[in-house]
Structure formats: structure tokens, C-alpha cells
Structure 1
Amino acid sequence: MMRAWTLPMLLVFCGSAAATGPILKGIPGTAAVLLSAFLILAFVNSPLIYPRSVDAREAQRRSAVDGRPIVFWRPGCTYCLRLRIRLGRAARRAHWVNIWRDPAAAAAVRAANDGNETVPTVIVADRPHTNPDPEWVREQLRRSA
């Protein structure tokens, strides 16, 4: 769990450090802009922007029942963030699995990607798709609804 928050906490710390200089120089507006930018980056890279993760076994069970895709992701991954943002509200219909929280999920991703933990890896009908086009994933979500 802590690993998922390392980058966001580091961004908050760096933003605080970057804002300290302008505050000490009497430029609070610049400090506020710097801190705000770092806080936004921290939020975007945090697990908060993603739908609640389940473990790999639970995602596979749910997908077998409802046919929805499984999305393996990890915090800090720009491609995962791109997928999440481009899916919009439809992202909540997929089963999201954080590979940093679930060793079985990381193993499943490595098995699908020649030993690499390449994310996002989307499983549709038991077939892995590495870093698929968000529009394709949206179509798969529509089909499973």
C-alpha cells in the first residue's frame, strides 16, 4: 500500500520545498501556484483517481460472471492514467487491479508480457491486450454492459 503513495507523497514534499523559496522572498502568489501545480500532479499520480482496486482472483471471478474487462495498472504509470482519463465514467465498469498491491496480479501481467510488468494490460475474454487504445477498451465495456 505504501508503494502506491510514494510518488504522490514525494510530489507534495517537493512542492512544499519549491514553494518555500517564494514565501521567504515575500512572493506568496508564486508559492501558491507552485504548490498547487505539485498538488495536482500528486493527485493525478495517486490511487485516488482510479476506481477501487480488487485482487486478481476476485477480478477474474467477477469478469467470468459479468464479462467485463480486467485492467491491470499501477500508480505513477502515465499510460494507465491516459487510459483512465480517456475512459471517463466508463472506467468504473471495468475491474481494476493494482499490480503493486497484488503479487498474483503482477505475476499475471508478467506472464502476459514476456516477463515484463507492462501496464496497462487489459484482459478481455481471457486474452491479454497490452496498452490498448482507450477507444477499443471503451467499446469492450459497451459490449459487456
Structure 2
Amino acid sequence: MTRVWILPVLMLLCGALLAAGRAAGGSPVGAVALLLLFVLLAAATSPLAFPRSTGAAEARRRAEADGRPVVYWRPGCAYCLRLRFRLGARGRRAHWVDIWRDPAGAAAVREATGGDETVPTVVVAGRAHVNPDPAWVREQLSR
């Protein structure tokens, strides 16, 4: 549970250290800008940037009922972040499963990818797609 926050916390700490160095060097505006940049990076890599995750079994059940895709992801994954941002508000319609929080979700991804935990893995109508094009996922969410 706590490992999902390691990267965002490291981003905040690094940003604070760099900003303190800038401020001590006589550049308070640069320090604030640098700190703001690292706060934004920390927020983007945190679980807060993603919709609330459900368990793999619950996500599959919901997907069977409403036909929406299941997206398996993990915090800190640049490809997951890319997918999430490119889906925009439509991304909330998908069922998101954090594979670090749900061992069954991690197992489903390993099964779909041949033993790897490659994310994002999107399951639509029972068929897994590893790191799909965000435009294609947007199209699946529009159906």
C-alpha cells in the first residue's frame, strides 16, 4: 500500500531540496517555480491522478454488466499516466484496477501478457490489449 506513494514523495523531497538550493542562492521566484513543477509531477505520478481502483473480480463483473473496458495499471507507470491523461474525463468510465493493490489483478495481467506485469493492460469483451493506443481506448469508452 505504501509503495504507491514512494515516487510522489521522492518527487516532493527532491523538489523541496532543489527549491531550497535555489532560494539560498538568491532566486526565490525560481525556487517557487521549481517547487511547483515538482508538486505537479508528484500529483501526476500519485494514485490521485487515477479514478478509484476496484478489485479485479469486481471490475470484471461490472465490465460484463455494462460492457466498459477494464484497465489494469500501477502507480508510477509512465505509460499508464499517458493513457490516463489522453483519455481525459472519459477515463472515469473505465474500470481501473491497481495491480499493486490487488494480487488478482496482477495475476490477470501476468496471464494476459505471458508472465509479465506489463501495464496498462486493457481488457475489452474478455480480450486483453497490452499498452493500447489511447485513441482506440477512447473509442471503446464511447460505445
Q: State the secondary structure of the residue aligned to 1:57.
A: helix
- 1:133 and 2:133 aligned: yes
- The one-letter amino acid paired with 1:55 is G
Q: In structure 1, how many angstroms separate the alpha carbons of the residues matched to 2:85 and 2:100? A: 20
- The one-letter amino acid paired with 2:42 is A
Name the residue aligned to 1:27: 27
Can you give the 5+ residue segments of structure 1 that lack an aligned partner in the other structure? none
Can you give the 5+ residue segments of structure 2 that lack an aligned partner in the other structure? none
Q: CA deviation at 1:142?
A: 1.3
- 1:41 and 2:41 aligned: yes
Q: In structure 2, how many angstroms separate the alpha carbons of the residues matched to 1:31 and 1:42? A: 16
Alignment of 1:115-134 (within 5 A): 115-134=115-134
Name the residue aligned to 2:90: 90
For 1:60-88, what per-residue CA distance to the aligned partner results, in whole angstroms no more than 9, with x for missing partners?
Answer: 11111111100000111111111111111
Name the residue aligned to 1:66: 66
- The one-letter amino acid paired with 2:101 is R
- Considering only aligned residues, what root-mean-square deviation do their CA atoms show, in Å? 0.8
Q: In structure 2, how many angstroms separate the alpha carbons of the residues matched to 1:34 and 1:56? A: 38
Name the residue aligned to 1:4: 4
Q: CA deviation at 1:25?
A: 2.3
Name the residue aligned to 1:142: 142
Q: In structure 2, how many angstroms separate the alpha carbons of the residues matched to 1:30 and 1:135? A: 37
Name the residue aligned to 1:77: 77
How many corresponding residue pairs? 143
TM-score scaled to structure 1, two decimals? 0.96
Percent identity over the alignment is: 62
- The one-letter amino acid paired with 1:74 is R
Q: CA deviation at 1:89?
A: 0.8
- The one-letter amino acid paired with 1:14 is C
Q: CA deviation at 1:52?
A: 0.7
Q: In structure 1, how many angstroms separate the alpha carbons of the residues matched to 2:140 and 2:55? A: 21
TM-score scaled to structure 2, two decimals? 0.97
Q: CA deviation at 1:26?
A: 2.5
Q: In structure 2, how many angstroms separate the alpha carbons of the residues matched to 1:135 and 1:22? A: 41
Q: In structure 1, how many angstroms separate the alpha carbons of the residues matched to 2:22 and 2:129? A: 46
Q: In structure 2, how many angstroms separate the alpha carbons of the residues matched to 1:24 and 1:140? A: 51
